[in-house]
Structure 1
Amino acid sequence: MKYLNILLIFFIVIIGCVVSLKSPIKSKIDVPRLNNQQVRYPSDETWSEVDTFLEEAIENGTFPGCVALVGNQKGVLYASAKGSFTYGIGTPINDFKVPPMELSTLFDMASCSKVTACTTSVAQFYQRGELNLDSPITDFLGLEFGVNGKSGISVRNCLLHNSGFYPDPNPFWNTAEFNCPATEEYYPPMEFTCQSQIYQSILNQSLMNPIGSTYVYSDLNFMTLMYVVGNLAKQFNYITADQLTPGCDNGAPENAQCYYEAYVRHYVFNALNLNVTNYLPPQYLAPQCAPTENDTVYMHTTIQGVVSDGNAYALGGISGHAGVFSNVEEMWIFMYSLMFAEANSQYLNSTTVQYFTTEYNHTQSSRALGWNTNDPSVFDEGWGLACGTLSAKTWMHLGYTGTMLCGDPERELIVILLTNRVYPDPSNIKIENVRKPFSTLVQQVYDSIIN
């Protein structure tokens, strides 16, 4: 009887723990899906000019290949995969073959990770009333973060890039000067051995501007927000230790990075039933990843299937500013879920989406909260009007590797362009002459259809 009572108590405790955990809320939006068997929509010549434009961009060396998609509430209007992974040189992961781009090709989303993963997480905590955007970062990272004048930085400052941070950590975390353990190896492994050192680097950063005074786009903002989200995921019991990526948790408080990734995995991507969008793509998906740069300085290889951003790589592949991999099929689902969010959605409702995607301070920058906007009347013009002549209210983001997401709320139009323009050399910036005219051409074709 004694043992039965012990077992009963054990099961009650286990059940209590399970009940106390919070299950991800699945999005209930019915997203019109892409037909994977088709390469271009529709079969007529409506979008032929867009086809030609992208083909010419490949021919002039802007990027070896790309995948593009245009859609509205009714569904996908245009989707096309053009070019190939490389300029004719095979990669080791692909058995030295050169695969063609496909709609399922995975891309290193680079800074689009800031909005797909980190901003979405912050918005969810905000929507549930678990996060005040004006809370100081010290509430989450402790008073140690407040050194060097940083005590007044809020979550909102980080979302708006007016925290006062420099653009990047100095030195970069993947450099010999910073001296992460892995940098000593010729082929540095992507691991979490520098986790504590990097966390201390975040705490000890200094500022280049007074807090709130000036817009300076900085990866440090979203590196910091990663730890905020991770700590919130722990505080509100959204994630337990058994859900963390193996090998990530090397101890508190820097293990907030691990809780961040697990939260994103379960509550941001899995909640939309995304199958391949995530940090740390499994090895079997590496051949489906478009290669990025041919790194002759740090990784000493053609980067494929792992994050190309050096700071994110030193972090183990997980960061608030970079590291997410996805394809056009699943970015369409993500963008659609935001564009057509319902008023009562527990994933992100329409009010929250509008708040985070609306330009916040017109006198300072085109930035919304996390997202940027396509506003031509602000000095930075939303990264030089990368979304072309789509409306000024278009919420958007770019990625260093050659990715772009545009959502025009006036037209209710979604435009996605994914490229690996950094292959083989990231100094190739021809894409700066492609994004704007591509988006403008899409707008013109779409308006001609609607009108």
Structure 2
Amino acid sequence: MMIKTILVIVGLVVAICSANRVAYSNINVPMVEDNVRALSASIWSPVDELLEGAVSNGTFPGCVALVGNKKGILYSSAVGSYTYGIPPVYHPPGIDNPPMALDTLFDMASCSKVTAATTAIAQFYQRGELNLDSPITDFFGPEFGVNGKAGITVRNCLLHNSGFFPDPNPFWNTQEFGCPATSQYYPPMEFTCQNQIYNSILNQTLQNPIGSTYVYSDLNFMTLMYVAGQLSYENKYTTSQDLVPGCDNGGPEAYQCHYEAYVNKYVFGGLGLKSTSYLPSANDAVFCAPTVNDTTYMHTTIQGVVSDGNAYAMGGVSGHAGVFSNSLDMWTFMYNIMFAQPDSSYLNSTTVKYFTTEYNHTQSSRALGWNTNDPTVFDQGWGLACGTLSPTTWMHLGYTGTMLCGDPERELIVILLTNRVYPDPSNEKILSVRKPFSTLVQKIFDSYFPH
């Protein structure tokens, strides 16, 4: 009995110490610079016109844009509606096609890689709990090393030079892969394929030698999800009580569940983000911009659940996709990254600088997790999506039509959230909108807000 009591006390002490190691951000995020928007509305009218034109020409049904600096939000606008006129699956009573709003929730797609997975990895790194040059086999075991993968490190995954192919083949939401849910015409989003997907990652083959070549791959961040989840579990940041019901089916694949719990508590929770999460509730679906009209797998217009097929087959939680958020929460997130303090235990300024600085100019424009807006590298930071913002701008894009840009030279934050994949993801008109939008913002900012 005495031994059991001692063990309980030790467990409580460890849990308390773990909680104390993770602090919440104490940065005061200003929402609106005093009187700025009212006094300067006319100077931003060209941006309004550009976005309204993009809605008119079918680039996307609607969007939300937000621009700000250290003093606060300088410009924000919600343009268009959820759809091109067809009522979405979920909408408020009496409002067949809701207008976009600053609090509309968007499927962030690959922006999940930085808003969730990269931030979690950076926090473990900052606390000295993770060496970025640790081989992935330290977490998955030697089984991961098959097919030449033994030398892949956490850093390789962050830089997308691990050698992985861009995606698993076959995709996990296909009949060929055979997740249990795919046998149903309306496949449920559940965690019944956890073990099969985990083993799929273990058995992946490589496209290139490790470290040799930049290839943007979702597999890198699927892998990092398990790394972060295992670190959370082993360092006692999360317990079984924190996990999404039905997620933990036993085995190392359950680190997926600890990853979601960690991100929810310490990445989103650490900033008090009330509307950012994996797995938005059924009640929140009405606030979510619809995405793809999926006629081959989900057989519905997707709304309120992740549109990425692999992430859906994973139960809606992954390091590469699955986060939902809105413009105001993304403003808070970006502000805390941009203006991180030297002593911040969320992410300090040294860690932020390290993760947002281009790492290997000869290989790609990538930073660690983040991309950059460097025009002198072959991929030009996704074709200079952040326009004429500085080359050191750290940024990321999401397949659904989301974009985050942080220009450290101007201390300027630019956010553009759209549902450009509705109803057909083959619509790529946004490729001719992102860069002009960002460039226009830069020109207006430099003209009227000298820094």
Q: Following TM superposition, by how much is the alpha carbon of 1:97 offset from its aligned partner in structure 2, in angstroms? A: 1.2
2:31 is matched with 33
Deviations 1:28-84, CA, capped at 9 Å, x for gaps? 10000259xx9x765630100000000000000000000000000000000000000
2:293 is matched with 294
Query: Which among 41, 44, 47 is matched to residue 44 of structure 1?
Result: 41
Q: Distance in 2 between matches of 1:242 and 1:92?
A: 33
Kept after mapping to 1: 8 A contact 2:15/2:236 = no
Q: Distance in 1 between matches of 2:170 and 2:300?
A: 22
Q: Are residues 14 and 396 of structure 1, via their aligned partners in 2, closer, same or farther at CA, if it must alter by over 3 Å?
A: closer
Q: Distance in 2 between matches of 1:168 and 1:12?
A: 46
Q: Following TM superposition, by how much is the alpha carbon of 1:301 offset from its aligned partner in structure 2, in angstroms? A: 0.5
Q: Are residues 218 and 12 of structure 1, via their aligned partners in 2, closer, same or farther at CA, if it must alter by over 3 Å?
A: closer
Deviations 1:219-238, CA, capped at 9 Å, x for gaps? 00000000000010011111
1:150 is matched with 149
Deviations 1:192-222, CA, capped at 9 Å, x for gaps? 0000000000000000000000000000000
Q: Are residues 142 and 10 of structure 1, via their aligned partners in 2, closer, same or farther at CA, if it must alter by over 3 Å?
A: closer
Choose 322-331 or 233-242, whichever is displaced more. Answer: 233-242
Q: Distance in 1 between matches of 2:448 and 2:89?
A: 44
1:187 is aligned to 2:186: yes
Letter in structure 1 aligned against 2:98: P
Deviations 1:287-320, CA, capped at 9 Å, x for gaps? 0000001100100001000000000000000000
Give 1:44-193 correspondences, 5 Å limit: 44-94=41-91, 97-193=96-192
Q: Are residues 48 and 133 of structure 1, via their aligned partners in 2, closer, same or farther at CA, if it must alter by over 3 Å?
A: same
1:387 is matched with 386
Q: Distance in 2 between matches of 1:55 and 1:447?
A: 23
Deviations 1:219-277, CA, capped at 9 Å, x for gaps? 00000000000010011111111111111000021000000000000010001000010
Kept after mapping to 2: 8 A contact 1:277/1:325 = yes
Q: Distance in 2 between matches of 1:140 and 1:313?
A: 24
Q: Distance in 2 between matches of 1:11 and 1:385?
A: 55
Q: Distance in 1 between matches of 2:279 and 2:228?
A: 18
Deviations 1:371-414, CA, capped at 9 Å, x for gaps? 00000000000000000000000000000000000000000000
Q: Following TM superposition, by how much is the alpha carbon of 1:25 offset from its aligned partner in structure 2, in angstroms? A: 1.1
Q: Are residues 79 and 208 of structure 1, via their aligned partners in 2, closer, same or farther at CA, if it must alter by over 3 Å?
A: same
Q: Are residues 80 and 371 of structure 1, via their aligned partners in 2, closer, same or farther at CA, if it must alter by over 3 Å?
A: same
The 3-state SS of whatever aligns with 2:23 is coil
Q: Are residues 209 and 248 of structure 1, via their aligned partners in 2, closer, same or farther at CA, if it must alter by over 3 Å?
A: same
Q: Are residues 391 and 235 of structure 1, via their aligned partners in 2, closer, same or farther at CA, if it must alter by over 3 Å?
A: same
2:305 is matched with 306
Q: Are residues 34 and 175 of structure 1, via their aligned partners in 2, closer, same or farther at CA, if it must alter by over 3 Å?
A: farther
Q: Following TM superposition, by how much is the alpha carbon of 1:22 offset from its aligned partner in structure 2, in angstroms? A: 2.0
Kept after mapping to 2: 8 A contact 1:341/1:353 = yes
**How many residues are aligned here?**
445
Compute the TM-score of the two structures, normalised by the length of structure 2. 0.96
Say what the alpha-carbon RMSD is for the aligned residues: 1.8
Q: Are residues 41 and 157 of structure 1, via their aligned partners in 2, closer, same or farther at CA, if it must alter by over 3 Å?
A: farther
Give 1:203-352 correspondences, 5 Å limit: 203-352=202-351
Q: Distance in 2 between matches of 1:21 and 1:277?
A: 24
The 3-state SS of whatever aligns with 2:84 is coil
Letter in structure 2 aligned against 1:77: L
Q: Following TM superposition, by how much is the alpha carbon of 1:15 offset from its aligned partner in structure 2, in angstroms? A: 4.5
Q: Distance in 2 between matches of 1:67 and 1:314?
A: 29
Kept after mapping to 1: 8 A contact 2:291/2:303 = yes
Deviations 1:124-179, CA, capped at 9 Å, x for gaps? 00001110000000001111000000000000000000000000000000000000
Residue ranges of structure 1 left out of the alignment (5+ in a row):
none
Q: Are residues 318 and 146 of structure 1, via their aligned partners in 2, closer, same or farther at CA, if it must alter by over 3 Å?
A: same
Q: Distance in 1 between matches of 2:39 and 2:274?
A: 26
Letter in structure 1 aligned against 2:123: Q
Q: Distance in 2 between matches of 1:160 and 1:241?
A: 32
2:405 is matched with 406
Letter in structure 2 aligned against 1:232: L
Letter in structure 2 aligned against 1:399: G
Q: Distance in 2 between matches of 1:261 and 1:363?
A: 34
Q: Are residues 153 and 92 of structure 1, via their aligned partners in 2, closer, same or farther at CA, if it must alter by over 3 Å?
A: same
Letter in structure 1 aligned against 2:75: Y
Q: Distance in 2 between matches of 1:217 and 1:313?
A: 20
The 3-state SS of whatever aligns with 1:414 is strand
Compute the TM-score of the two structures, normalised by the length of structure 1. 0.96
Kept after mapping to 1: 8 A contact 2:32/2:74 = no
Identity of aligned residues (%): 72
